[in-house]
């Protein structure tokens, strides 16, 4: 298979390319949909080996110039495979035991929906500051009874790479095992799972391209002299009161007001609209090995704190049971630090009963730069 790079020059070329893609059902890598092909913009198409000559002939006939971006897709796939391939069962060749840049996560979402269309749909949530599209995946078994929702988001802080890695792993595990694992299949009979693999997409991209230890979003403040809001201080829960900074160069800058950031707004809007159906809200972070319950802004316990603690304690025990990794459980204000404007707190204040922040591995030895070799055990124990 080859991947071709084309920059269509005229509208006629665009039309021809769109026709070619849909007729031959070619795999579009960029953009994702034929209707998004534009003149003057990059087009990357993967062409299956048997069709390569036909496609090239057609391009030649229509005087569309192209460049071979990847001459042998299989070779590249083989090269990027980890040495032991045994237990890493993959969905369409995707390597879950490595960290992936945002481009690949977008492609992964499309593939997941394509390969599991009976269960998974991809949905638009909103746009980031730098105009990137936020998508979530809905895993739902068709049924005539209404189902409650469990929401999980990853990657609210850019440098916490293990978090999006977990969301991807989670989706893969559910999809690979729902037919055979009785726990998962019972789960899906009664609940829908909504997964947002990367919430802070701009920050995540920035941590890949410019600064591995970036945390915040990438919206500019003070005339572009400083960038980024800590999205987990930007929600409307005692916003701006404690554990924050009003200085935009701070890593805990809470923004110009509650939900001032498009990413925050997109999530908040959605959760508000579905709040009566959401049973449990999970937000994944690293590091610290903690399961945190509301609140961060006060030590006053939430109304259902007993239930919250009991569920969290059982989760922590199950997690420890896998590889012995120890997690602490408690409210943020008591066991970590004070902070206001967190998504977990806000979600609880609008009435969602179970709301947790997970701080995944490790305890600081590697911190944010957790080796990829720890992706599998971290994800397995967290499942």
Partner 1 sequence: DIDDVGHKYYLELELEDVLDKDRTVNCTAEVLYHLGSKTSAPDVQVTVQGELRSTEEADQEFYNWIRSLEKELVAENIPDSHGNIPPELEPIHLLAWVASGFLIWQNSTENTKFHLAQIKHVKQVKRSDEDLQFDYVLLLHEMVSQVI
Catalytic (active-site) positions: 359
Question: Closer to partner 1 at the Cβ: 288 or 302?
Answer: 288
Residue 230 interacting with partner 1 (CB under 8 A) = yes
Residue 99 interacting with partner 1 (CB under 8 A) = yes
Q: How far is the CB of 83 from partner 1 (least distance, A)?
A: 14
Task: Answer for the pair 77, 104: CB distance below 8 angstroms, yes or no.
Answer: no
Question: Closer to partner 1 at the Cβ: 239 or 253?
Answer: 253
Token output for 269: 């809007």
Interface mask toward partner 1 for 331-370; x: CB under 8 A = -----xx--------------------------x-xxxxx
Q: Is the torsion defined by CA of 85, 89, 91, 96 positive or negative?
A: negative
Question: Closer to partner 1 at the Cβ: 269 or 373?
Answer: 373
Q: Is the torsion defined by CA of 119, 124, 128, 130 positive or negative?
A: positive
Question: Closer to partner 1 at the Cβ: 98 or 130?
Answer: 98
Q: Name the one residue in this structure whose structure tokens are 């499942």.
A: 383
Token output for 111: 């593939």
Task: Answer for the pair 347, 311: CB distance below 8 angstroms, yes or no.
Answer: no
Q: CA nearest 156: which of 9, 261, 32, 299? A: 261
CA dist., res. 214 & res. 202, Å (int): 10
Residue 374 interacting with partner 1 (CB under 8 A) = yes
Among 68, 213, 317, 318, binds partner 1 (CB under 8 A): 213
Residue 98 interacting with partner 1 (CB under 8 A) = yes
Q: From the centroid of its chain, how far is CA 66?
A: 33
Count of residues interacting with partner 1 (CB under 8 A): 25
What are the DSSP E strand ranges found in the chain? 2-6, 27-30, 43-47, 66-70, 120-127, 133-139, 148-154, 191-196, 220-221, 226-227, 278-286, 290-293, 328-331, 354-360
Region of 64-72, 125-133, 206-214, 296-304 interacting with partner 1 (CB under 8 A): 206-214
Please tell me whether the peptide bond between 295 and the residue prior to it is cis, using omega within 30 degrees of 0: yes
> Per CB under 8 A, which of residues 295..314 are in contact with partner 1?
none
Q: How far is the CB of 98 from partner 1 (least distance, A)?
A: 8
Residue 318 interacting with partner 1 (CB under 8 A) = no
CA dist., res. 24 & res. 55, Å (int): 9
Q: How far is the CB of 104 from partner 1 (least distance, A)?
A: 14
> Per CB under 8 A, which of residues 241..280 are in contact with partner 1?
243, 245, 250-252
Residue 372 interacting with partner 1 (CB under 8 A) = yes
Among 186, 212, 300, 322, binds partner 1 (CB under 8 A): 212
Residue 152 interacting with partner 1 (CB under 8 A) = no
Vertex 129, ends 127 and 130: CA angle to 5°? 95
Question: Closer to partner 1 at the Cβ: 16 or 157?
Answer: 157
What are 286's strand-pairing partners? 360
List contacts with partner 1 (CB under 8 A).
98-99, 208, 212-213, 215, 230, 243, 245, 250-252, 288, 336-337, 364, 366-374
């Amino acid at each position: 298979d080859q991947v071709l790079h084309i920059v269509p020059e005229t509208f006629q070329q665009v039309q021809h390319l769109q026709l070619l893609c849909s007729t031959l059902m070619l795999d579009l890598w960029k953009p994702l949909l034929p209707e998004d092909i534009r003149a003057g913009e990059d087009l990357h198409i993967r062409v299956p080996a048997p069709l390569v000559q036909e496609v090239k002939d057609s391009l030649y006939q229509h005087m569309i110039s192209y460049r071979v971006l990847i001459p042998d897709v299989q070779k590249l796939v083989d090269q990027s495979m980890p040495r032991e391939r045994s237990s890493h069962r993959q969905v369409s060749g995707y390597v879950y035991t490595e960290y992936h840049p945002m481009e690949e996560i977008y492609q992964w979402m499309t593939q997941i929906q394509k390969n599991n269309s009976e269960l998974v749909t991809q949905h638009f949530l909103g746009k980031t500051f730098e105009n990137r599209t936020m998508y979530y995946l809905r895993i739902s078994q068709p049924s005539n009874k209404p189902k409650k929702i469990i929401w999980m988001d990853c990657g609210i802080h850019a440098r916490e790479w293990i978090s999006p890695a977990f969301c991807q792993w989670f989706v893969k595990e559910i999809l690979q095992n729902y037919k055979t694992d009785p726990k998962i299949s019972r789960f899906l009979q009664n609940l829908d799972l909504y997964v947002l693999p990367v919430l802070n997409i701009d920050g995540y991209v920035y941590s890949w391209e410019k600064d591995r230890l970036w945390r915040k979003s990438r919206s500019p403040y003070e005339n572009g002299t400083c960038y980024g809001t800590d999205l987990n201080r930007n929600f409307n829960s005692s916003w701006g009161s404690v554990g924050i900074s009003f200085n935009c160069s701070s890593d805990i800058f809470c923004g110009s007001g509650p939900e001032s950031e498009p990413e925050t707004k997109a999530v908040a809007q959605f959760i508000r609209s579905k709040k009566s159906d959401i049973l449990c809200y999970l937000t994944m972070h690293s590091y610290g090995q903690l399961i945190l319950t509301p609140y961060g802004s006060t030590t006053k316990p939430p109304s259902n704190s007993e239930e919250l603690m009991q569920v969290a304690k059982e989760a922590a025990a199950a997690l420890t049971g896998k590889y012995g990794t120890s997690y602490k459980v408690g409210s943020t204000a008591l066991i970590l630090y004070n902070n206001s404007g967190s998504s977990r707190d806000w979600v609880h204040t609008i009435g969602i009963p179970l709301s947790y922040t997970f701080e995944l591995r490790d305890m600081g030895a590697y911190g944010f730069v957790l080796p990829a070799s720890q992706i599998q055990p971290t994800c397995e124990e967290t499942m």
